Amino acid sequence: MLRRSRTTKKLAKRIDLQYFTRPHVFRRWRFWLSVAVPVIALGWFVTQRAQGGQKVYSSGPLAASHAVFTQQCSLCHVARAGNFATQVSDEACLTCHDAPVHHANQSFKPACSSCHVEHKGSRLLSATSDSSCSQCHADLQTRDGQPHYVASIKKFAGDHPEFSPLRTGRRDPGKIKFNHYIHLQHQLMGPNNTRVGMSCDDCHRISKGNEEWPYAASLDVSREGKSVPQGLKPAALSNSGGTAEAVPFPSGSPLPVMDTREEGQSRPQWRYIEPPTFGQNCAACHTLQFDKRFGNDQVPHEKPEVIHAFLLKRFAEYIATHPEAVHEVSPPDRQIPEKSRLPRVARNASEWIQFRAEDAEWLLWTKTCKQCHTLNSTEGQLPIVASSNLTTRWLQHAQFDHQAHGMMTCTSCHTNTEKSRETSDVLLPGVQTCQQCHRDDKPRESAEARCFECHQYHDWTKTKRTREKFTIPQLRGVARLETR
């Protein structure tokens, strides 16, 4: 192999180390451009500011709810001494928004912009970071020094406490006697002596839609030839006692949904499942027959006073067309597992109506109605039906959307439902059930786990009506441009 004739040192001597001291056309243009570009940019900035323009600011995209006034910086950033304030004041937000505080005894009120961060793209302003909440709730302090809630919560996936109804050992206050275990058995006796297997959505649904309820009151033709719900009078629950009052109902119409709200309760949002009702979920199986003379006719699912008037009317109509029945003696019904009631012989039609109504009411109060309702009876008076007191929303300080969880089976979260035999059982899922999906260790592979997903800061029950402030041209900046 031949040896190299030129060494590295000899090769290095060929490089001109003073090349930058000699003039060159490209180096001259680079110098003038480096001077001209900043001068032009500064001149444009001064010109725009002198004309009151907003193009000099690089705002970044606004959230979707504020995108309409992207060119109107002054709506949020108040101009002082010719310059826009960097920090948006709460007064600017309250110009359009009525945002009640969290709690009256909170010791610290954060600024609006500290939680709702703008100029971060088309995002939800309600999607706040956990730090916005933990700045108070990591070590909760109140003005009276006595927090009514857990004093240390930093994030849901970590130290979030058990949900309040489960943590405090609360029992279901409902007064309707219901056994989930029995109703979820296979081959259960259903309508018209058929065997059925019930599922959760037979009684609990997110939205009613057009799908029929399988165990609702069916339509039948009455003896007058009109189409009415079989054995049921339409009703809307009153605010007293959870029972019902009669309301007008056009013949041939579908059975309306009975309102089971208690006094003072607001109608739940669509995401919450409303409690079941008798006419919609129970009437096909739990029939209300009152006397064999009338076949499958049933009393209305109403207050005892309404039922009493109904029975008197029906028996009066019957004896008017069957006067010979006054002296008939009916044998006791041995199929009733209660104490047999001896038949009484009436002396006239009025007494027959009274006896038959009392017999029918005895059957209803001691057997039929008693299966589901708690009756407070007084000798010689009609019973008082205890309020149903069904709970629509268990988590009063959190939001839950059943629609978003519609792909899951009910019992995957409500795990104790199939074993529940008592009304007092609280079947709410525990926090650990939710934490299986709502985690923050792998955000891209888990459901949202930040505080805002379930909680809101503002107490919207104290909201007030906001008043109009701007026109469309003012929001879009059109009025300002047209005046130039």
Instruction: Note the Cα 273 to chain centre separation in Å.
Output: 7
Q: What is the mean pLDDT of residues 324-353?
A: 74
pTM of the model: 0.70
Q: Is the pLDDT of residue 247 over 70?
A: no
Higher pLDDT, 354 or 332: 354
CA dist 94 and 457 (Å) reads 15
Q: Is the pLDDT of residue 79 over 90?
A: no
* Neighbouring residues of 203: CB distance < 8 A, sequence distance ≥ 6: 215, 276, 281
Instruction: Write down the pLDDT at residue 200.
Output: 93
Instruction: Write down the pLDDT at residue 98.
Output: 84
Instruction: Write down the pLDDT at residue 254.
Output: 33
Least confident of 19-23, 170-174, 339-343: 339-343
How buried is residue 26: exposed, middle or buried, by Cβ count under 10 Å (0-12/13-18/19+)? Answer: exposed
The secondary structure of 433-462 as a DSSP string is HHHTTB-SSSGGGSB--SGGGT--SS-GGG
Q: Is the pLDDT of residue 180 over 50?
A: yes
Taking a C-beta distance cutoff of 8 angstroms, is the pair 459, 103 a contact? yes
Least confident of 20-29, 195-204, 264-273, 299-308: 264-273
Instruction: Write down the pLDDT at residue 264.
Output: 36
Other CB atoms within a 10 A radius of the CB of residue 359 amount to: 20
* H helical segments located in 283-417: 304-321, 349-363, 410-413
Instruction: Write down the pLDDT at residue 321.
Output: 94
Instruction: Write down the pLDDT at residue 374.
Output: 92
Q: Which range is most confident: 98-107, 142-151, 178-187?
A: 178-187
Instruction: Write down the pLDDT at residue 205.
Output: 86
Which tens digit of pLDDT belongs to each residue from 438-482? Answer: 998 888 889 999 999 999 899 888 888 777 788 888 888 775 545
Instruction: Write down the pLDDT at residue 263.
Output: 35
Query: Residue 68: which pLDDT band, with cuts at 50, 70 and 90?
Result: confident
Higher pLDDT, 230 or 319: 319
Query: Residue 58: which pLDDT band, with cuts at 50, 70 and 90?
Result: low
Q: What is the mean pLDDT of residues 368-372?
A: 92
Which tens digit of pLDDT belongs to each residue from 14-30? Answer: 787 777 777 778 878 88
Q: Is the pLDDT of residue 77 over 90?
A: no
Q: Is the pLDDT of residue 434 over 70?
A: yes
* Sign of the CA dihedral with 133 first, then 136, 137, and 138 last: positive
Instruction: Write down the pLDDT at residue 413.
Output: 94
Residue 328 sits at the vertex; the CA angle it makes with 322 and 333, to the nearest 5 degrees, is 110
Instruction: Write down the pLDDT at residue 260.
Output: 35
